[in-house]
Structure 1
Amino acid sequence: MPSGGEDKARTFYVDQLGMIEVAKPPALAARGGCWFELGPVKLHLGVDEDFRPARKAHPGLLVDDFDGLCAALRTAGHAVADDHLLPGVRRAHLSDPFGNRIELIEA
């Protein structure tokens, strides 16, 4: 993520995806960024001064309420693109506030 994007990250990952922010260890906190968790998922966003969004490599998140989350994200103004390339697998893609690709997969 770019420098200074922590509040945008919190809004997206906590308020919209339902993750919990966890404190970074003091030795790493001075670098900026945010760490989020939900169940076994741990997502660490570090600050990169030469930031470029990850548009290909991405986390795939299993989602219990796939339809509900996709609808809520669309209501919040996110472009959620349904993906039908894998038979029998419901999934969608969107970007976080920094342009990083996120995949949602129905659990």
Structure 2
Amino acid sequence: MLTAVDHVQLAAPPGSEPRLRTYYVDALGMTEIPKPPVLAARGGCWFQAGAVQLHLGVEADFRPARKAHPGLRVHDIEAYAARLEAHHAPVTWDDDLPGHRRFFSEDPVGNRLEFLEPTD
């Protein structure tokens, strides 16, 4: 039986870790968590905020997915969008999901991220 999502893995190009750290730690407010040594040797970085974990793994022929994305619930979505904008991250609002406020953004390597908050 499935009980929870443990983490979401996103891809990134080699050498992008410094830019990813700036975005995921400074803009999103996540904490970098250590990778096990055998996995750390492969590059990439892992981040966590509460129960949410995002793993960024290095992919030599990286191309960001244009449609696929994690959907991340937030509290006080207006303030969170303002935080991302203050860090020069794109914020594109979308009103197509009934019962939610949501926007999309992209990390520095082009990974699409959805941020949403229920309105009920």
Query: How does the TM-score come out when normalised to structure 1?
Result: 0.95
| TM-score normalised over the length of structure 2 | 0.85
Within the candidate set 84, 89, 92, 1:81 is matched to: 92
Which residue of structure 2 lines up, in the alignment, with residue 96 of structure 1? Answer: 107
Question: Within 1, Cα distance between the matches of 2:24 and 2:70?
Answer: 13
- Measured on the aligned residues, the alpha-carbon RMSD in Å equals 1.0
Aligned to 1:36: 47
Structure 1 runs (4+) deviating above 2 angstroms are none
Aligned mate of 1:8, from 19, 22, 32? 19
Structure that is richer in strand per residue: 2
Question: How many residues are paired up?
Answer: 107
* Cα distance in 1 for residues equivalent to 2:35 and 2:89: 28
5+ residue gaps, structure 1: none
Which residue in 2 is equivalent to 1:106? 117
Secondary structure of residue in 1 paired with 2:115: strand
The answer to which of 33-42 and 71-80 deviates more is: 71-80
Q: In the aligned structure 2, how far is the partner of 1:79 from the partner of 1:25?
A: 32
Task: For structure 2, list consecutive stretches of 5 or more residues without a partner in the other structure.
Answer: 1-11
- Within-5 A mapping of 1:38-57: 38-57=49-68
1:53-103 Cα deviation digits (max 9, x unpaired): 122110111111211110121122222000100122100001100001000
Whole-angstrom CA distance in 2 between matches of 1:73 and 1:43: 17
Which of 67, 79, 84 is matched with 1:68 structurally?
79
- Report % sequence identity: 57
